[in-house]
Amino acid sequence: MDRNRQVNKVVHFLLTLLIMFVASIAPAQALLKGGTWQD
C-alpha cells in the first residue's frame, strides 16, 4: 500500500509536468504559426 502511494505521487507529478509542458508549448506553436514575433 505504501509503495503504491509513492507510485501514485510520481505518476501525478509526471502528469503535472506533462500538462505544464504542453500548456507552455501550445502558445509557442501558435506564435510560430502566426509569425507575429518573427519580424
Q: Is the model's pTM score more than 0.85?
A: no
Task: Provide the pLDDT for residue 34.
Answer: 75
Give yes or no for a contact between 37 and 31, defined as CB atoms under 8 angstroms apart. yes
pLDDT, position 9 = 96
- Provide the 3-class DSSP secondary structure of residue 28: helix
Q: Residue 27 is placed in which grid cell?
A: 502558445
pLDDT digits (tens, 9 = 90+) for 1-39: 789 999 999 999 999 999 999 999 988 888 888 766 555
